[in-house]
């Protein structure tokens, strides 16, 4: 099946070619709203004189704050500098807040009279449908809804083309099962098709992508980032995604999971199963003695391992069936904006709106450790077709997108 998402300037307004600011767009997810804002840095003196005070106020508000109310956050460390988008140069800012706070965001848009600057906003994600009527009735704004999977693919290609302030976005782990010698290495996305794109959000979707315009959704799983956070909240009492990750980074999942060596006394050599492989997630929790000896950190770590191992196993099976490379875009329910894909789309009236397709699962520490220590997890997710260029990508590797 062929799908197409508009290219950056395919919807450009006719005339001068310069579209009215502000430029921003939203991915309204099941748990988080991710917003990206383009701050122009090449405003001419004439443009500055013509700018209305309302537009200046919005720009100051978005760029001078790192927190908005109690739950909104701008991730300064992910800012992209000096990008040229549709002929304009500026910076990209990434902002996130819980979807539960959407009505407060809409109210803020009404209070700041955003509809006096734009009447239409670009948005993707399920919330673009869920909150469409609220935007219309509460703030006099229309949503131009863009398919989130179209945005994901176009965004992946876009963010790879611009990189992260001079650094590549795509990487893989060399020696993933060797904790001492595991190295993160950059990878260029030249000649990447076909690929399996694993989009980890509250849930997970796996896409087989044959060209930039042709893809299909192969499968998915409900066990994703939302599952990780939800279970951690139940098991450990944590309240935020960051807290759950911090706890997981300090835990030992082998205190919770039953390993192959716990059953066989070592490796299961006949089938090449290492003794360190997980045989039963949370398998030790059948024992009261084990339950009494574990920590909340152990439970958080075991939850992370369980979710990532499951996703890795599904991804590998799909990659073998589809004969393609695996690319993982991590985008969990409560994002820390480490991985993002941006799709640039333009409106004929509102000009440019930047639609964030995925903002990141913070895999920096905990998930990286899972990748290093569990070869049945996200490492080695695919075997490459023999006809492919063996020098293009290292054998048996899973590629990731994340900001440095």
Work out the burial of residue 40: count CB atoms within 10 Å of its CB; fewer than 13 is exposed, 13-18 middle, 19 or more buried: middle
Active site amino acids? 148
SS3 379: coil
Q: String of b and e for 60-72 (b: at least 16 CB within 10 Å)? A: eebeeeeebeeeb
Phi, psi of 139 (to 5 degrees): -125, 5
Q: How many CA atoms lie within 13 A of 194 on its CB side?
A: 20
Work out the burial of residue 395: count CB atoms within 10 Å of its CB; fewer than 13 is exposed, 13-18 middle, 19 or more buried: exposed
Q: E strand or H helix at 325, and its extent?
A: strand 325-330
Phi, psi of 103 (to 5 degrees): -65, -30
**Contact status, residue 305 vs residue 370, Cβ threshold 8 Å:** yes
**Contact status, residue 333 vs residue 227, Cβ threshold 8 Å:** no
Cα 34 from Cα 27, distance rounded (Å): 5
* Helical axes 102-111 vs 132-139, angle rounded to 10°: 30
């Amino acid at each position: 099946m062929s799908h197409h998402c508009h290219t950056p300037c395919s919807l450009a307004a006719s005339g001068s070619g310069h579209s009215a600011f502000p430029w921003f767009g939203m991915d309204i997810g099941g748990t988080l709203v991710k917003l990206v804002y383009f701050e122009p840095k090449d405003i001419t003196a004439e443009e500055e004189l013509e700018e209305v005070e309302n537009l200046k106020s919005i720009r100051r508000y978005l760029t001078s704050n790192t927190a908005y109310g109690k739950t909104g956050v701008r991730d300064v460390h992910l800012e992209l500098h000096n990008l040229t988008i549709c002929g304009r140069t500026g910076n990209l800012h990434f902002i996130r807040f819980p979807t539960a706070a959407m009505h407060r965001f809409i109210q803020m848009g009404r209070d700041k009279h955003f509809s006096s600057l734009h009447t239409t906003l670009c948005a993707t994600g399920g919330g673009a449908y869920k909150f469409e009527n609220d935007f219309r009735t509460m703030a006099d704004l229309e949503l131009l809804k863009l398919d989130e999977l179209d945005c994901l693919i176009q965004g992946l290609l876009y963010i790879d083309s611009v990189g992260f302030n001079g650094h590549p976005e795509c990487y893989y782990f060399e020696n993933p099962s060797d904790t001492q010698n595991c190295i993160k290495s950059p990878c260029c996305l030249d000649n990447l098709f076909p690929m399996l794109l694993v989009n980890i959000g509250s849930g997970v979707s796996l896409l087989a992508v044959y060209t930039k315009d042709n893809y299909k959704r192969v499968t998915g799983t409900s066990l994703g980032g939302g599952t990780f956070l939800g279970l951690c909240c139940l098991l450990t009492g944590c309240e935020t995604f960051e807290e759950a990750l911090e706890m997981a980074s300090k835990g030992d999942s082998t205190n919770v999971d039953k390993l192959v060596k716990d059953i066989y006394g070592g490796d299961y050599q006949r089938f090449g199963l290492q003794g360190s492989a997980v045989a039963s997630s949370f398998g030790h929790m059948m024992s009261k003695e084990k339950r009494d000896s574990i920590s909340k950190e152990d439970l958080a770590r075991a939850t992370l391992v369980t979710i990532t191992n499951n996703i890795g196993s599904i991804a590998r099976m799909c990659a073998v069936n589809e004969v393609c490379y695996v690319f993982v875009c991590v985008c969990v329910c409560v994002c820390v904006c480490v991985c993002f894909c941006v799709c640039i789309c333009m409106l004929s009236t509102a000009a440019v709106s930047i639609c964030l397709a995925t903002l990141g699962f913070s895999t920096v520490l905990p998930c990286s450790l899972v990748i290093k220590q569990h070869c049945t997890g996200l490492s080695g997710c695919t075997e490459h077709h023999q006809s492919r260029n063996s020098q293009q990508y290292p054998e048996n590797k899973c590629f990731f997108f994340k900001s440095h």
